[in-house]
Amino acid sequence: MTIMESETVHRSAYTSILPVTLADIEGASARINGHIARTPFVRSSSLSDHTGHSVHLKLETHQPIGAFKLRGAMNAILSLDDAQRRRGLVTASTGNHGRAVAYAARELGVPAIVCMSSLVPANKVNAIRALDAEVRIVGVSQDDAQEEVERLVEARGLTAIPPFDNVDVVAGQGTIGLEILKDIPDLATVLVPLSGGGLAGGISVAVKALRPQARLVGISMERGAAMHASIAAGRPVAVREEETLADSLGGGVGLSNRVTFALCSTLLDDVILLSESEIAEGIRHAWREEGETVEGAGAVGIAAILARKIELCGPTAVIVSGGNIDPKLHRRITEGADA
């Protein structure tokens, strides 16, 4: 599904008509410097040999919380004034964003509540509790958790930190795009996990502004890919949330989406969906060939290459977004268990 021929669009288009600009991302980069890690960007010999093109892995698994979400959460919280922070923070999460908010809140000395559905794996729930945040398990979907956030904002005056549909959150995630372009100025393709669109949207803004000929490809799972369905429909739509190895990519985009739908529907050049067995193979490859423990959502770029669902045309960046997988599940998959 080709969304846009990027070669025909100039840098000015990205910095003037979309809700997040290159200036927002550059500001975020300066703001979060020293609070997050500049993660490794390493060449994968196995994937480069497999494709005949240079493939590099951006290892957001090396963030302090094991996932890219710290960038957006930290930028959003640092962008608040003192009064907003003192009221306390609240968010809805499928796991990694909640962990990011909890980590940033503890670092900055403010209280936080994280609302999650019963589909969130126990290891992610326990990791958030370990960071001293209050956890609330509500319902069976991200939408149910978001309703609890809205109730707490209304009842207690807490400050919400959205998981993706927020300019400051998206700008923080977009700093990954700045980093990969510094390392590979002649970048041809970026493979990025696609869920609510904060990561894909932010990286797309940065890369398309600085290298408009680069191709941005969103990768998601076949089970409940909300942004893919929304782009196909031409508007945000609801999808049924299902269990998947790529649990961090679950949840909807929000029917009143203000930021990420516009970014993804305008800037992504393609969207690819993967089966559960293909995602499992990506997890196995990351462990056996790259020496990295990667969760399902973080393995989708690798999986798309292995499944030959993407044809590369030059230097490629694969965003490995997180490594917070349940250890028992990881062991079963890497030992060859069926997805």
**C-beta of residue 255 within 8 angstroms of C-beta of residue 12:** no
Say yes or no: do domains 6-67+166-334 and 69-160 share a fold: yes
Q: Which CATH number fits domain 6-67+166-334: 3.30.1330.20, 3.40.50.2300, 3.30.1550.10, 3.40.50.1100?
A: 3.40.50.1100
Q: Which residues of the chain have pLDDT under 70?
A: 1-16, 339
Q: Per-residue pLDDT tens for 139-179?
A: 998 889 999 999 999 999 999 999 999 999 999 999 999 99
Euclidean distance between CA atoms 91 and 115, whole angstroms: 6
Nearest residue to 164 (alpha-carbon basis) of 172, 156, 175: 172
Model pLDDT, residue 143: 86
Nearest residue to 203 (alpha-carbon basis) of 212, 190, 213: 190
What are the residue ranges spanned by the domains of the chain? 6-67+166-334, 69-160
Give pTM, 2 decimals: 0.93
Tokens encoding 56: 């590099």
Output the CATH code of domain 69-160.
Answer: 3.40.50.1100
How are the residues of the chain apportioned to helix, strand and coil, as percentages rounded to the nearest 5?
Answer: 45, 15, 40
**C-beta of residue 216 within 8 angstroms of C-beta of residue 229:** no
Tokens encoding 137: 């398990």
Q: Per-residue pLDDT tens for 291-322?
A: 999 999 999 999 999 999 999 999 999 999 99
